[in-house]
Each structure stands twice: as C-alpha cells, then as structure tokens.
Amino acid sequence: MSNVISFNDVSLRFGGVQALKNVSFEIEENSLFAIIGPNGAGKTSILNCINGIYKPTSGSINIFDQDSKDLHPDNIANLGVSRTFQNIELFENMTALDNILIGAHRHVDYGPVRSLLFSKKVRQEEEKARKISEDVIDFLEIEEYRYSYILSLPYGIQKRIELARALAMQPKVLLLDEPAAGMNNEETEDIARFILDVHEELGITVVLIDHDMNMVMDIATDVVVMDFGEKLFQGDPQEAAKNQKVIDAYLGVG
C-alpha cells in the first residue's frame, strides 16, 4: 500500500518556540491515522503543515509523492486534501446547505462571464454541486437541518456540518482537528461512527487529532503520539496505550 503523506525530519519554529522537532512518519493510503498527545504537543501544527498553512523550518513533506514546499493551501486542496478545524469555521448566517455547497464548488468549472449569463453550462455545474452536497447530507444524516441557519443549530450538529463541507470537496485525504471536542458522550459516539463510515465506506484516508483516547483506540488503525513537538511513539493504538513514555506524557510525568 502506498503512502499518501510523508513527514521527513520536519522541524517548525516560531521565534524561540520549537513547535515541531525532527518529526518523521508516513501515512498509508486508506488508513485511519490518529495523532494524539497533551495540549501543546504540536498536533495541530502537523495538520497546518500538511495543508500548507505553515511551512516547515527544515525537513520536507511529500503529499502524493509531491514536495509541498512550494504549494499554497489551495494547491494542496486541489490535490485532494480537505480539513475541519478545532474551532468551528462555518458561515453562521448561512444555511447548512449553503455552507456545504462551498465545499462542493471546488468541482464546478465555469468562468465569470458564464456565471453572469447563467448559461446552460453554469446550470449544469450548479446541479452537479447540489447533487454532491445532497449526497453528503444524506450520508451524514442531517437532512432535517438542510435549510437551517448555522446560528440556530446545536454544537454537535454544527460539527457534523463542518465535516459535511469537508466531504463535499470529495477529498482523498481528510484532516480532522478535534472533531469530538466539546461533545457529550452521545455526540462523540455519533461522530466516531461517521468517521468510521467515511473511512470504510468512502475509502478516504483520515488523519485524526483528538483528546478522546477511548475514541481513538476504538477507530484508529495507526497512531502517532506527540509531546512537546517530538514524536514519542508510532504504531498500533493498543500498543501506544501500554507504552510507558506515552503514559508518562499523558500523566505529566518526567
């Protein structure tokens, strides 16, 4: 099985702060890859490096065998990488459907002149985007919220809609930053089920950050454990739970 993402001795520094230090790992195609660790471990910095928000101070990142150093976030999205954020980044005064359509519009193909004329080509492309969005809405079981404004929706449903927008981009790799953060047990079980469905039914490679160890252990196929910007462990989730360095990092020992 081929690698979709390779971190090669990546370091990231902001002034005197070392966010990542010589981090290396590979993410295989069709894996459900989890990155865990205490607060400040460098987890979100890894995602930001993958999708081009941050550029490594040293080292390299390959995405689908392409060096990402000269790629902007939109270029990386066009390679097939989408993401959600720890803090919900939806347009609150728009409906759920409109937010999801934004993701689907990565696939439309028409210029400004055709848009102004609302030509047949534009109508066909808009129908395509609507079909993609409706399929995602059905997949994530949010039909009843289709025309609801984001401001009016419960937190757990907003997180699901953000996932829907990322899926509407039809990615090959999906980056999920704390998808269960702030959720109760029922909401966490729901989002874990949908993440598994995305991985197993849609065949999308998932890269997941979360603090919920139980959820990670239940669904991940591979795990990297970070602490203070360094990789402590990579391997099977069950082995991670038994690793003394991992235990010490989570308990604040050492």
At 121, is the secondary structure helix, strand, or coil? Answer: helix
- Grouping H, G, I as helix, E, B as strand and the rest as coil, residue 25 is strand
13-59: per-residue pLDDT in tens? Answer: 998 899 999 999 999 999 999 999 888 889 999 999 999 999 999 99
Does domain 1-80+171-207+229-254 fall under CATH 3.40.50.300? My reply is: yes
Using CA atoms, how far apart are residues 130 and 102, in angstroms rounded to an integer?
A: 10
Query: Hey, where are the domains in the chain?
Result: 1-80+171-207+229-254, 90-168
Degrees (nearest 5) of the Cα angle 187, 191, 193?
115
Q: Which helix (H) or strand (E) holds 44?
A: helix 43-50
**Beta strands in 115-204, from DSSP E residues, in sequence order:** 173-177
Are 73 and 51 contacting, i.e. CB atoms less than 8 angstroms apart? yes
What integer is the mean pLDDT of 230-252? 83
**pTM for the structure as a whole:** 0.89
79-131 residue pLDDT tens = 999 999 888 889 999 999 999 999 998 776 655 655 555 667 667 777 888 99
